[in-house]
Structures are given as C-alpha cells and as structure tokens.
Amino acid sequence: MLMPGPLELAIIGLILAVPLVVVVGVVVAVVASRSRGGGPAGNLIPCPDCGRMVSPHAVQCPQCGRPMQVSSPPPVGDSP
C-alpha cells in the first residue's frame, strides 16, 4: 500500500487550489466590471438637447447651456 506523504498531499492541494483561485478571480473580476454600469461614460448622463455626456452634478450643460435639473419631486401638501 502506498500512502501519500505530506509533500504529495501538498502538491495535490496546490494542483487543486490553483485553478480554483484562478476561476474565483475571473468570476470576481467579471462581477466587479458588470456592477460598475458597463459603460465608458461612467456616471455621466447625456444632455437631452445636444447629447453631450455631462456630470450629474453639473448645474448646466457645458456645451449648449441647458440647465441640468435633477429629477425633483413636485411640491405637494401646500393646497388648502
């Protein structure tokens, strides 16, 4: 009977662990890249008028000057 020694067990462990680490790394990288939005524009939003990608924090479009209004809820609860 041949009993595997600790060195052989370590080698077998490495052979089994290396592909597992690679697969997990690839899956994590794919999930991380998908969760970013999957676009080169990042967080930019297109201007409704000229289509230029504008930062959502911009007050107005730097190209055409259109005011970039963030969707604000209409005033409610002020009617008698």
Q: Does 66 bind Zn ion (CB under 5 A)?
A: yes
Cβ at position 71, least distance to Zn ion in Å:
17
**How far does Cα 54 stand from its chain's mean position?**
19
Q: Does 12 bind Zn ion (CB under 5 A)?
A: no
Query: Do 39 and 47 contact (CB within 8 A), yes or no?
Result: no
15, exposed or middle or buried, with CB in 10 Å at 0-12, 13-18, 19+? exposed
Q: Does 50 bind Zn ion (CB under 5 A)?
A: yes
**Between residues 44 and 66, which has the closer beta carbon with respect to Zn ion?**
66
Cβ at position 34, least distance to Zn ion in Å:
29
